[in-house]
């Protein structure tokens, strides 16, 4: 691959893992003690409800974060890294890898919560076995997509990022299916409703960000990046409020109570 591909992959993965750590690791770490206690007490109904609530929270946060990274990838990379020898070409290379890594952000977040959920059930083997199989799949997909991207005339290091996203997405699906069988369901209707609301809200947010990027024109990079983040967060929050998402209603109610 071309010079700078390894560095581009490393930086893109680091940037993608920032929201993953804030969203998934925070939720999973907070949920683990509760899930463990509910399993120890045999309260499987409460465990299913807690896991469903965690999944809804992750979807409400990860979907807009992934779409935001996809649309704002270039100004975000330029704002964070473009100085010294890190020039415009370097920004394009990192942004290209970030595009394909961001596609897998939701999968990474879901894997995080399901892995912790299996640990809460005293099952450490299942996530490890699935992870090993997915790692092997990732290697094969990396070779395939890197070669395919090169044939298309695209920078091949993006194929490595796409392989990671696809493998992680499949890992999330497998862990979801296994956990659903283990718990005899995970309140699928409630999660599906949350996913639909998050998708609709993120879609409207995406349209607003697309318009922002076209209207920004020659505006300074830091204004494009920070303005896009603020605009996206505002639009998405408004959409969730309009859709009467229960979590948003609870949050607003708590704020109103604290304000008297």
Q: What is the DSSP letter of 83?
A: S
Nearest residue to 99 via CA among 159, 173, 181 = 159
Nearest residue to 50 via CA among 25, 33, 26 = 33
pLDDT at 187: 86
Residue 52 near residue 186, CB atoms below 8 Å:
yes
**Distance between CA 60 and CA 52 in Å, rounded?**
12
Q: What are phi and psi of 152, to 5 degrees?
A: -80, -5
pLDDT at 260: 67
Segments in 121-187 forming alpha helices (H): 125-151, 157-183
**Distance between CA 72 and CA 200 in Å, rounded?**
19
* Residue 44: Cβ within 10 Å count: 13
How does pLDDT run along the chain (260 residues), one tens digit per residue? Answer: 888 899 999 999 999 999 999 888 888 888 899 999 999 999 999 999 999 999 999 999 999 999 999 999 999 999 999 888 888 899 999 999 999 999 999 999 999 999 999 999 999 999 999 999 999 999 999 999 999 999 999 999 999 999 999 999 999 999 999 999 999 989 889 999 999 999 999 999 999 999 999 988 778 888 999 999 999 999 999 999 898 888 777 766 766 777 76
Element (H or E) spanning 73, and its range?
Answer: helix 44-81
Q: pTM for this one?
A: 0.91
* Residue 53: Cβ within 10 Å count: 19
């Amino acid at each position: 691959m071309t010079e700078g591909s390894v560095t581009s992959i490393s930086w893109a993965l680091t940037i993608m893992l920032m929201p993953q750590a804030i969203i998934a690791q925070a939720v999973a770490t907070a949920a683990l003690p509760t899930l463990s206690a509910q399993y120890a007490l045999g309260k499987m109904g409460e465990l299913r409800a807690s896991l469903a609530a965690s999944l809804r929270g992750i979807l409400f946060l990860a979907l807009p974060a992934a779409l935001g990274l996809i649309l704002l990838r270039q100004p975000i990379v330029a704002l964070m890294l473009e100085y010294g020898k890190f020039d415009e070409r370097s920004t394009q290379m990192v942004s290209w890898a970030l595009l394909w890594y961001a596609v897998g952000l939701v999968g990474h977040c879901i894997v995080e919560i399901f892995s912790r959920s299996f640990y809460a059930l005293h099952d450490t083997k299942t996530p490890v076995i699935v992870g090993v199989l997915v790692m092997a799949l990732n290697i094969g997909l990396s070779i395939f997509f890197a070669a395919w991207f090169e044939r298309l005339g695209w920078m091949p290091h993006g194929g490595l990022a796409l392989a990671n996203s696809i493998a992680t997405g499949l890992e999330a699906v497998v862990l979801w299916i296994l956990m659903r069988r283990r718990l005899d369901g995970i309140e699928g209707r409630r999660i599906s409703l949350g996913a639909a609301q998050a998708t609709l809200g993120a879609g409207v947010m995406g349209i607003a960000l697309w318009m922002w990027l076209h209207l920004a024109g020659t505006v300074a990079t830091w204004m494009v990046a920070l303005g896009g983040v603020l605009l996206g967060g505002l639009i998405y929050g408004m959409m969730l409020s309009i859709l009467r998402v229960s979590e948003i209603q609870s949050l607003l109610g708590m704020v109103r109570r604290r304000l008297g």
